[in-house]
Structure 1
Amino acid sequence: MFERFTVDARGVVAGAVEHASRAGSPVVTEEHLLLAILDREGTKASFALASLGVTDRRAELTEALAAGRRRGGMSKAEEDALAGLGISVQEIVARVEEVHGPGALSGETLGKAWPSGRPSFTKGSKKVLEKALRLAVARKQKYIGDEHLLLALAVLPGLAGEALAECGGTYAGLERLLSTPPA
């Protein structure tokens, strides 16, 4: 599959590994992939994110990802569903952090790096790569670009897609921009 990745898509994967390494994480998550896409310039994905105003809201998006990690990776929708049952996720997080310290639910120590010390990919980040391949195939494209990775992040359930949508990067909006041939 990786032989089908464009230079931009490979750059996203390498950037995600760098984000994970800088954060001291033994694993590459979907959030790392999203942050790496946001770092790129002059690509199809960066064009789409800028057109939707997501690039201008990077700080807000980063905060949403951090808040989600603090909730143990739980999405806002999952938190709202539990609130409907009378369960306060914020209260649970506060109690756990009171006993175990700040960020105890972040899961940053979960997962194992390769013996070389390089971060491995989580199931979620692997699903993003697989979905990107499926999106490219559905579009009858023989390559996997950073735009496919972005669309995969937007369409799959989870924290990264939710944070992206909250900042204006919905799947529908991204799909509309990325399926339009350049003028």
Structure 2
Amino acid sequence: MFERFTERARKAIVLAQEEARRLNHGYVGTEHLLLGLLRQEEGVAARTLNSLGVTLKEAREQIESMVGRGEEGTADQPPFTPRSKKVLEFALREAVQFEDAYAGAGHILLSLVKETNGTAAIALSHLGVTPEEASVEITQRLTVADPEDSAYARSLRASVVRARVEGLLVHTRCGVTDEERALPQALRVDLEYMYRAGEGDEIEETVDYGAVLQNVAGLLEREEFRLLETGMRRVGGHVLEGFPAILEATVRVTKLNVPVARVVSGVSVEATFRR
């Protein structure tokens, strides 16, 4: 997972581990991630927090007053708590929302303040910073170019591409009743996905839409299911598993022959799937 973070974000995570060891804590929680971000004074996260009146010294004092110090002899590599893992996973999603190729320290901070039940967010509230206030400030800073990202990450920023596959017609056995599933019937699949594209002009630098089409069609044509939602979920999972470069995919599956006593052109279900 960490290979999808910028160099500075990875450094902040290492510093968070150091903060956990400094406090003799046998885990890395959201509070340690916050301190790791603050230790990088030149980063967008630290600058955002400083602009809101939060310093490393004050944050350390507040966090220590809340959680205290542990006993000597804690692990050299303390594990991340489920909540801190969640924060890091959602930081990757924040990067996707900003169409950034890598998650930076700013994305981690945005994810931290949105995890309102975490120790980091609670500590910030005690220091006079609300989640809403912090979210607005960091979002404003993330919408402009910032030197926080490495040169490599910045070069890839414009290479996050959105592609659409529209009107893929497949025939599969789908329906609640046995009669509906007796013969294959037509489904329409629309797929929109975001992926990282390379800078070259070769097929290996992108996601081959032909391969995506064939994979999705092959999956549905060999499957049998009762609900459209089942087919939709299978397509979403299959696309993310089969194409590592794809960051997220929105899948719409439409049943064209609807067994109701009304005139209707189709019934659709749609969902977005993210890593």
Indicate conservation of the 8 Å contact 1:28/1:121, yes or no: yes
Q: Partner residue of 2:39?
A: 39
2:66 equivalent to 1:68: yes
The alpha-carbon deviation at position 41 of structure 1 amounts to 1.4
8 A contact 1:15–1:36 mirrored in 2:
yes
The residue number in structure 1 matching 2:123 is 163
Give yes or no for contact 1:154–1:165 (8 Å, CA) kept in 2: no
Q: 2:97 aligns to what?
A: 138
Q: Does residue 150 of structure 2 align to residue 152 of structure 1?
A: no
TM-score (norm 2): 0.46
More strand by proportion, 1 or 2? Answer: 2
> How high is the sequence identity, in percent, across the aligned residues?
41
Once the 2 structures are TM-superposed, how far is the Cα of residue 177 of structure 1 from its aligned partner? 2.3
Structure 1 or 2: more helix by fraction: 1
More relative contact order in 1 or in 2 (CA 8 Å, sep 6+)? Answer: 1
Question: So what's the TM-score if we normalise by structure 1?
Answer: 0.67
RMSD between aligned residues: 2.3
Q: What is residue 7 of structure 1 aligned with on the other side?
A: 7
Report how many residues are paired: 140
- Structure 2 alignment gaps of length 5 or more: 146-275
Where structure 1 has 5 or more consecutive residues not aligned to the other structure, the ranges are 71-102
Query: Which amino acid is the alignment partner of residue 177 of structure 1?
Result: E
SS of the equivalent of 1:28 reads: coil
Q: Distance in 2 between matches of 1:22 and 1:68?
A: 15
1:174 Cα deviation after fit? 2.5
Q: Which amino acid aligns with 2:102?
A: Y
**TM-superposed deviation, 1:172:** 2.3
Residue of structure 1 in register with 2:77 after alignment: 118
Aligned partners of 1:144 and 1:29: how far apart in 2? 19
SS in 2 for 1:124: helix
Say if 2:12 and 2:33, in contact at 8 Å, map to a contact too: yes
Amino acid at match of 2:118: G
Q: Which residue of 2 aligns with 1:174?
A: 134
